[in-house]
């Protein structure tokens, strides 16, 4: 399974440098979910399960701390599975434990 760098709140507001680590996580989610709209929908499901409470039109810079938390939960879950259903279940469990 792919290794992803830790996502920090500053990644959503910085200018310049290399691509932020959450982009690779988003790409992995789309690939796991399937091509096109199906993959994009799965990415949104995973983000929601990980605790992101905004819709797809809201940028991560709106709440960078919450975005970083959600992406790091996804990062942790991707370390153990790439199965869609198991990933969503693991993310829901991680988000529930955090509350």
Q: How far apart are CA 18 and CA 40, in angstroms?
A: 23
| Residue 12: inside a domain | no
Q: 14 lies in a domain?
A: no
Phi, psi of 92 (to 5 degrees): -60, -40
Q: What is the pTM of this model?
A: 0.92
| pLDDT (tens digit per residue) in 12-70 | 998 888 899 999 999 999 999 998 999 999 999 999 999 999 998 999 999 999 999 99
> How many domains, the chain?
1
Assess if residue 4 is contained within a domain.
no
For residue 42, the tally of other CB atoms under 10 A from its CB is 19
Note the pLDDT tens digit of each residue in 61-70. Answer: 999 999 999 9
Q: Name the 3-class secondary structure at 19.
A: coil
Domain-located, residue 11: no
In a domain, 1, yes or no: no
Question: In this structure, is residue 2 part of a structural domain?
Answer: no
Q: Is residue 7 part of a domain?
A: no
| Domain housing 46 | 19-98
Q: Does a structural domain hold residue 5?
A: no
């Amino acid at each position: 399974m792919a290794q992803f760098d830790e996502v920090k709140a500053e990644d959503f507001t910085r200018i310049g440098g290399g691509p932020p680590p959450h982009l690779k996580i988003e790409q992995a989610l789309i690939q796991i979910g399937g091509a096109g709209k199906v993959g994009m929908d799965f990415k949104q499901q995973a983000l929601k399960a990980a605790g992101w409470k905004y819709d797809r039109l809201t940028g991560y810079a709106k709440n960078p701390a919450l975005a970083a938390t959600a992406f790091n939960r996804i990062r942790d879950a991707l370390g153990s599975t790439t199965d869609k259903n198991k990933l969503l279940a693991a993310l829901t469990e991680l988000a529930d434990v955090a509350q």
